[in-house]
Chain A
Amino acid sequence: MRPTRRDFLWTIGALTGGAGLKWGSDVVWADQDLDEDPGWTPGVEAHLNSTCLVCPSRCGIRTRVVDGNLVRIGGNPLHPVNRGGMCPRGIAGVQMLYHPDRITTPLRRIGARGAGEWSPITVEEALEEITNRLRTLRDEQRPEGAALLAGHASGTMHDLWTQFFRAFGSPNVISDDYDDGMEAVIQLMHGISRAPSYDLERASFVLSFGAPLFESWWSPLQASVAFANPDEERVRGTRFVQVDTRFSRTAARTQEWVGIRPGTHAVLALGLAYVIIRDELYDASFVDGSVAGFGDANGRREGYRSIVMREFRTEEVSATTGVPVERITTLARALAEADAPVVVCGTDVTHAPNGLLAATAVHSLNILLNRVNRPGGVLLRSDPPVAPLPDARIDAVARDGNARGPVVQATAPYGTGDQALAFAAAVADDDAEPIDTLFLYYANPLASSMRPQLWTRALGRIPFVVSFSPFLDETTRYADLVLPDLLPYERWQDAPAPASYPYPVWGVARPVVTPPPAAMNTGDVILGAASRLGGTVAASLPYADMPEVLRERARGLFDARRGMLLGDAFERAHHQAMEARGWWLPEHEDFDGFWGELVERGGWVDLFYDDTDPARLVGSRSGRIELMPQELVERVGSLEASIVPTEQEHPPEEFPLRLIPYRLSTLSSGTVGLERWLAEQPALFPEGHWVPWVEVSPHDADVMGIGNGTMVWVTSPDGRYQARLTVSHGTAPETVCAPYGMRHPDGRVANPFALLNGEADSLTGLPAWSTTFVRLERV
């Protein structure tokens, strides 16, 4: 029978309807695991104080835990550094904890190195394997074959590692941590071995030489709290001025931004000194009484005043720095006339070829104005008085191992520089295979080193690489054994406030959620390895676990008869007033009560600073602050000549743009998969999403003929990477601003660090971050 029209229509109708029914039932409106409607059964809820371990700021956090899950990280209002405030990275910690890429069990490599084939093992097996290896090294009388590369290890973790390696007998402890080079400045000028603290909260005028105060400084939260100035009587009384090459977020939001040519910060500082001296605005009696090197020393040595008055006249300074003449004069006067000014020196000054000298020039302003050891100025405070670890017990094997010296020797007189890079160079080139076992703690050199290829070679020569990273980052993928650390919200650790904070704070991080059973706090790994090794190593670290270590250290705080447990504004004021009058009342009868409440509140602080103690101003035998440290002058001949940048600063022919890398306040170095909330929008200005970018001025974009949004190669003589071009009105002509810490959505690192030319300050060894030139080409 011929199909009729009716059949035709029926068939089509039936087919469509059938498909509709079939597919319609596939449509999912919401995640089936997640209830669409509110009103889930209420869970068991706890609010626990702890400390954020994501950056050096070590802010106090208050976590909200529901049914054993960490659902929110907020600020701990009792913590004096952040007072309840947070930064985006700290809040996004919940996404670090529950990151899909997290490793929760120890892994042993089974395939070729870097092939990514693993077999899961137990913590016991992993510890056994590590200790067997170490035991063999000691049996072979070469304990120095073990090495540690530690990225971020402060407080007790630092102490445990050093103690372990000393007792074990290896001097090869390499640290690659935040170093702003200021400790050397204080050592040279004040004769005190201590990094400066800045009393921003009591200052009335903060002049920052390139310290990204709100972004990646020691403590962006300390700076933000001071900016808002919770001190009710002086609301918005503090003036912040930012000297910066880049229109950074800090520059944009401080009351005044002084845009300056790269590398000329010190010239501006001495230009300000010129006005201050000329107008006699410095503290003459202080300078006469406590400072050396200001005036000329009977024809033998030209003094600071003469040099400044001769070489740093305002017009010349203006010509070098690009800052207009009136601006220099007004700024100098405003600084000198403020009742509590302070000058902060940032890494942009110290991470430069003449960094140390430039930093002494910047800090000299604090000295001229008598701002060291004064309220609202630069303070040189003590550390929290925690009980020290017992003295390391050194046996013969360890003594010999330590005596053979580290693989890398510091070559710079006032700093260690990029030790990790020097270590890689030494290991890569040495035929003797000096290193047998390398521990990687908080370090991912294959992604973060300036010369990743060098690290590849070095790692190829190290037979046994152990990583403690909780993520399979580039270097961990290359390891032989992975013993993943617990994440910050799962482990015990102490968290002293950074040097920039003017009072000693000892925060505690404690587990707020149950850790995965097969992972282990690296602190406990150290203790476990020590006890398995036995003998002097075990005797040097006589603790069962991390809580015990921290508890024992806290006894020092209990016995110090000063300070207080973290408390609210009222308790802080009360304590401060009492201690200023020399009183101190114990809050706790017994140590157990003290420890319990310390953990409960999140830490300990001593809010009293004795600014009458002369030992906090000068430590040298002469009793005088050296305005132009004699040692330095002898080394470099003439300070002024070394401070003014030489004319070689012209860009090479094929690389016309200066690379200015900077850190986004939302991102870490970017060496592991990012938290999604942060990766989606790492910055507000210029706004970017997921894909790494570089910024150029509209003028340069025109000249190159590359439009906004184009993917480009950023190329220097030492490397290249891809990024998206962003035309930004805040970028100086002839520069490329390149944020650190980003990855492409497919996982490739976009690392401006690997483009750097390797230049360094010969006095401190610190790498120069902004002396590299690049070119941009369309991909």
Chain B
Amino acid sequence: MTRWGMVIDLDRCTGCAACEVACRSENNIATVSPEEAELGRTISWMKVMAEVEGEFPDNTLQFYPRPCMHCDNPPCIKVCPVSATYINDEGIVGQIYPRCIGCRYCANACPYTVKYFNWYPPEWSDSEKAHLNPDVSVRPKGVIEKCTFCHHRLQKAREQAAAEGRELREEDYQPACVDVCPTAAIVFGDLDNPVHRVAELKESPRSMRLMEELGTEPKVYYLRRGS
């Protein structure tokens, strides 16, 4: 069975936020006004969290890039009254924007706080509409959105592979955040496919998952800082 997943090496991440911006560009994520941002209503499917400890000059800082965990046992989909969020048979947890009624129940159910609500209609200036990615729908106001593992890329990669009459390869389907990460801190692939790098990395002794005790079975693994 294919189970798409991610391994993020905290040793390599430099907190540059290229993954965040790449995700915004790939997935047509709009900005909010300064006042809204002040309230914490920004949308960032990939959010690099910074955890600082200590006082000058004995500080330490850890960055945690945090997409949707695409839980194998996702609490978010169970609570949605209209199946507007679902898990497919390859483990990708998706959203159906035209169906979502905006009750935000799933957002409360997600322990990782990776779901974002469109409090206002997303705004693009007329000139900026030119750079929207035609593969990804633009959300209306009032619905929930989140990281999709860029699954529109999977569809395209499948079509491409089929057209070329070959199997899907690991490098055919890579999300936008993975593509741009300058330190290759994010690795993506099929967790159940032994030739994919994630299958090996997730067995590393540094490997861990967030809030594992909740039983959500996240498919995003982290490699703890080792050095």
Tell me, yes or no, whether A and B come into direct contact in the complex with CB atoms closer than 8 A: yes
Tell me the A residues contacting B by CB distance below 8 Å.
Answer: 28-31, 33-38, 40, 42-43, 66-67, 69-75, 82-88, 91-92, 94-95, 97-100, 102, 214, 220-221, 224-225, 227-228, 230, 236, 239, 247, 249-250, 252-253, 255, 257, 259, 322, 665-666, 676-681, 684-685, 687, 689-691, 697-698, 729-733, 745
Distance from B57 Cβ to chain A, minimum over Cβ atoms (Å): 3
- Asked if B101 lies at the interface with its beta carbon under 8 angstroms from chain A, I say no
Q: What separation, in Å, do the CA atoms of A351 and B98 have in the docked complex?
A: 56
Distance from B38 Cβ to chain A, minimum over Cβ atoms (Å): 7
Contacts A30-B138, A36-B140; is A86 near B59 (CB within 8 Å)? no
Q: What separation, in Å, do the CA atoms of A72 and B180 have in the docked complex?
A: 11
Q: Are B63 and A71 in contact (CB under 8 A)?
A: no
Q: What separation, in Å, do the CA atoms of A71 and B27 have in the docked complex?
A: 10
Q: What separation, in Å, do the CA atoms of A220 and B182 have in the docked complex?
A: 9
Distance from A552 Cβ to chain B, minimum over Cβ atoms (Å): 34
Distance from B45 Cβ to chain A, minimum over Cβ atoms (Å): 13
Give 1 or 0 for each of B74-114: 1 = CB within 8 Å of chain A CB. Answer: 00000000000000000000000110000000000000000
**Given known contacts A98-B130, A236-B12, A252-B59, what 4 new A-B pairs fall within 8 Å (CB)?**
A91-B180, A224-B14, A225-B183, A677-B24
Q: Are A29 and B142 in contact (CB under 8 A)?
A: yes
Q: Are B182 and A247 in contact (CB under 8 A)?
A: no
- Asked if B34 lies at the interface with its beta carbon under 8 angstroms from chain A, I say yes
Q: Are A97 and B141 in contact (CB under 8 A)?
A: no
Distance from A260 Cβ to chain B, minimum over Cβ atoms (Å): 9
Q: Are A71 and B132 in contact (CB under 8 A)?
A: yes
Interface centre among A91, A99, A250, A698 (most CB of B within 10 A): A91
Cβ–Cβ < 8 Å partners of B122 in chain A: 31
Q: Are A30 and B141 in contact (CB under 8 A)?
A: yes
Q: Are A33 and B129 in contact (CB under 8 A)?
A: yes
Distance from A567 Cβ to chain B, minimum over Cβ atoms (Å): 17
Tell me the B residues contacting A by CB distance below 8 Å.
Answer: 11-18, 20-22, 24-26, 31-32, 34, 37-38, 42, 44, 48-50, 52-57, 59-61, 63, 97-98, 121-142, 152, 176, 179-185, 226-227
Cβ–Cβ < 8 Å partners of B17 in chain A: 88, 666, 681, 684
Q: Are A71 and B134 in contact (CB under 8 A)?
A: yes
Q: Are B121 and A72 in contact (CB under 8 A)?
A: no
Q: Are A66 and B21 in contact (CB under 8 A)?
A: no
User: 9 smallest A-B Cβ distances: which pairs?
Assistant: A85-B182, A259-B57, A30-B140, A228-B183, A689-B37, A690-B34, A224-B182, A252-B61, A685-B50
Q: Are B63 and A729 in contact (CB under 8 A)?
A: no
Interface centre among B32, B125, B138 (most CB of A within 10 A): B138
Partner of B184, one of A228, A252, A687, A698: A228
Cβ–Cβ < 8 Å partners of A698 in chain B: 55
Q: What separation, in Å, do the CA atoms of A257 and B52 have in the docked complex?
A: 14
Q: What separation, in Å, do the CA atoms of A102 and B185 have in the docked complex?
A: 35
Q: Are B14 and A214 in contact (CB under 8 A)?
A: yes
Q: Are A680 and B185 in contact (CB under 8 A)?
A: no
Q: What separation, in Å, do the CA atoms of A67 and B133 have in the docked complex?
A: 11
Distance from B207 Cβ to chain A, minimum over Cβ atoms (Å): 15
Cβ–Cβ < 8 Å partners of B131 in chain A: 69-72, 94-95, 97-98
Partner of A72, one of B15, B25, B139, B185: B25
Interface centre among A70, A85, A257 (most CB of B within 10 A): A85
Partner of B16, one of A66, A94, A220: A220
Q: Are A729 and B34 in contact (CB under 8 A)?
A: no
Contacts A259-B56, A733-B56; is A91 near B25 (CB within 8 Å)? yes
Q: What separation, in Å, do the CA atoms of A224 and B181 have in the docked complex?
A: 9
Cβ–Cβ < 8 Å partners of B12 in chain A: 227-228, 236
Q: What separation, in Å, do the CA atoms of A709 and B136 have in the docked complex?
A: 37
Q: What separation, in Å, do the CA atoms of A88 and B24 have in the docked complex?
A: 10
Cβ–Cβ < 8 Å partners of B22 in chain A: 74, 86, 91
Cβ–Cβ < 8 Å partners of B15 in chain A: 249, 252-253, 684-685
Partner of B38, one of A72, A227, A689: A689
Q: Are A36 and B20 in contact (CB under 8 A)?
A: no
Interface centre among A92, A677, A689, A698 (most CB of B within 10 A): A689
Chain B residues touching A, majority SS? loop
Distance from A354 Cβ to chain B, minimum over Cβ atoms (Å): 23
Q: What separation, in Å, do the CA atoms of A70 and B134 have in the docked complex?
A: 11
Contacts A34-B138, A236-B11; is A253 near B61 (CB within 8 Å)? yes
Looking across the interface, which residue of chain B has its beta carbon closest to that of A30? B140
Q: What separation, in Å, do the CA atoms of A250 and B130 have in the docked complex?
A: 35
A-B contact pairs, 14 of them (CB 8 A): A29-B140, A29-B141, A30-B121, A74-B180, A84-B179, A87-B18, A88-B20, A95-B128, A97-B131, A228-B185, A690-B37, A691-B38, A730-B59, A732-B56
Cβ–Cβ < 8 Å partners of B183 in chain A: 85, 224-225, 227-228
Q: What separation, in Å, do the CA atoms of A327 and B87 have in the docked complex?
A: 52
Looking across the interface, which residue of chain A has its beta carbon closest to that of B134? A40
Q: What separation, in Å, do the CA atoms of A214 and B15 have in the docked complex?
A: 9
Cβ–Cβ < 8 Å partners of B48 in chain A: 684
Cβ–Cβ < 8 Å partners of B127 in chain A: 98-100, 102
Looking across the interface, which residue of chain A has its beta carbon closest to that of B181? A85
Cβ–Cβ < 8 Å partners of B138 in chain A: 30-31, 34-36
Partner of A697, one of B31, B34, B56, B184: B56
Looking across the interface, which residue of chain B has its beta carbon closest to that of A687? B50
Cβ–Cβ < 8 Å partners of A247 in chain B: 56-57, 59, 61
Interface centre among A253, A666, A678 (most CB of B within 10 A): A253
Q: Are B56 and A731 in contact (CB under 8 A)?
A: yes
Q: What separation, in Å, do the CA atoms of A247 and B97 have in the docked complex?
A: 42
Cβ–Cβ < 8 Å partners of A99 in chain B: 127-128
Q: Are B16 and A88 in contact (CB under 8 A)?
A: yes
Cβ–Cβ < 8 Å partners of B25 in chain A: 71-73, 91-92, 94, 677
Cβ–Cβ < 8 Å partners of B125 in chain A: 100
Looking across the interface, which residue of chain B has its beta carbon closest to that of A665? B16
Partner of B37, one of A30, A38, A92, A680: A680
Partner of A75, one of B24, B55, B180: B180
Q: What separation, in Å, do the CA atoms of A733 and B57 have in the docked complex?
A: 10
Q: Are B121 and A29 in contact (CB under 8 A)?
A: yes
Contacts A38-B137, A666-B17, A677-B31; is A730 near B56 (CB within 8 Å)? yes
Q: What separation, in Å, do the CA atoms of A685 and B59 have in the docked complex?
A: 12
Q: What separation, in Å, do the CA atoms of A252 and B15 have in the docked complex?
A: 9
Cβ–Cβ < 8 Å partners of B18 in chain A: 85-88, 91
Q: What separation, in Å, do the CA atoms of A259 and B55 have in the docked complex?
A: 12
Cβ–Cβ < 8 Å partners of B128 in chain A: 95, 98-100, 676
Q: What separation, in Å, do the CA atoms of A31 and B227 have in the docked complex?
A: 49
Q: What separation, in Å, do the CA atoms of A38 and B138 have in the docked complex?
A: 8
Looking across the interface, which residue of chain B has its beta carbon closest to that of A84? B179
Cβ–Cβ < 8 Å partners of B142 in chain A: 29
Q: Are A87 and B130 in contact (CB under 8 A)?
A: no
Partner of B63, one of A30, A75, A684: A684
Interface centre among B52, B135, B182 (most CB of A within 10 A): B182
Interface centre among B14, B49, B122, B138 (most CB of A within 10 A): B14
Distance from A348 Cβ to chain B, minimum over Cβ atoms (Å): 16
Q: What separation, in Å, do the CA atoms of A681 and B124 have in the docked complex?
A: 17
Q: What separation, in Å, do the CA atoms of A230 and B185 have in the docked complex?
A: 11
Distance from A664 Cβ to chain B, minimum over Cβ atoms (Å): 10
Q: What separation, in Å, do the CA atoms of A270 and B12 have in the docked complex?
A: 31
